[in-house]
Amino acid sequence: MKIFTTKKEIAQYFTHKENKIVGFVPTMGALHQGHLSLIKQAQQNSAEVACSIFVNPTQFNDPKDLEKYPRPIAADIAMLEQVNCDILFNPTVNEIYDDNEKWHLNIGDLEHLLEGEFRPGHYQGVTQVVYKLFSIVKPDVAFFGQKDYQQFMVISKMVELLNMPVKLVMCPIQRESDGLAMSSRNIHLTPADRSNALILSKTLNWVKYNFNADDIPALKQQAELMISNQPGIELEYLEIVDGKTLHPATANTKSIVALVAARAGKTRLIDNMLIA
């Protein structure tokens, strides 16, 4: 695997690219099977696969969260080598950002709904860094996980607004055998948190299997109760929404997604499920 840390090195490398389809998997590291499934999907759809590892400071609204974000770079490199990833881009913060850089992209209410309400500024930071990474790596196709469903919508909106020549692919959530959605943050869970956190995927499954389009508010209320009743879990939101707008689903909505965010002990987790 070729490892680049500067924009210049990446640009030089791709000068020699002969019309090869480049697939790109942007990450913040602390890789797990979920990330590797994105790499594998990218390998099936591109001639060369680049992964980036960059813990992006501008998307953290809580400095403590940024500080404690896991950074096991040696283990990450070993995992990428094991799955034969072609390129790793692993820049420093100074390589990506100049001092006091400004960024604002009008992504409409996607910025303030759901995650946006609980993590103000988060999606401005995400669009800022993904715009930069796309401009540096210049991928033909980029792969993102469904676990960050709203992030995928935000990035799609950015690509559309800025007319960026990249195709986006959303890949399914990878789960542990007991249903917990894979996440880099799971390593912060104590055994008790981890067991309490199973209520998230259980509740989403319950919503899916008890779905009745005519009574979405009652279903939502019951699902909220299931999570709130779980000791050690603090619910932030559970919403059953239109998968295209993220506005509350109604009996006429065609594509429906249930999304949840909650704290298990000190760790914030998100999860979602396609319902209809």
Question: Could you tell me which residues are beta bridge partners of residue 51?
Answer: 25, 88
What's the closest the beta carbon of residue 182 comes to ligand PAF, in angstroms?
12
Vertex 143: Cα angle to 133 and 56 (nearest 5): 40
Query: Minimal distance in Å, beta carbon 250 to ligand PAF?
Result: 30
Residue 139 or 223 having the CB closest to ligand PAF: 139
Q: Would residue 122 show up in a list of annotated catalytic residues for this protein?
A: no
The answer to whether 116 and 148 are in contact (CB under 8 A) is: no
Q: With respect to ligand PAF, which residue has the nearer C-beta, 142 or 256?
A: 142
Say if CB 36 and CB 120 are below 8 A apart. Answer: no
In the bound state with ligand PAF, the residue whose beta carbon lies nearer, of 43 and 58, is 58
State the nearest-atom distance from the C-beta of 147 to ligand PAF, in Å: 8
Which spans of this chain sit near ligand PAF (rule: CB under 6 A)? 26-28, 56, 59, 126, 129-130, 148, 151
**Other C-beta atoms lying within 10 Å of the C-beta of residue 274:** 15
Concatenated DSSP letters of 25-92 = EEE-S---HHHHHHHHHHHHH-SEEEEEE---GGG-S-HHHHHHS---HHHHHHHHHHTT-SEEE---
With vertex at residue 169, the alpha carbon angle to CA 167 and CA 175, rounded to the nearest 5 degrees, is 165
CA dist., res. 37 & res. 110, Å (int) = 27
N-terminal to C-terminal alpha carbon distance within the chain? 40
Active-site option among 16, 32, 35, 104? 35
The residues that bridge with 141 in the sheet, in sequence order, are: 23, 167
Residue 126 CB, shortest distance to ligand PAF, in Å, is 5
How far apart CA 109 and CA 123 sit, in angstroms, is: 11
Nearer to ligand PAF, 35 or 220 (CB): 35
Closest to ligand PAF by CB, 55 or 83: 55
Q: How far is the CB of 237 from ligand PAF (least distance, A)?
A: 19
Catalytic residues: 35
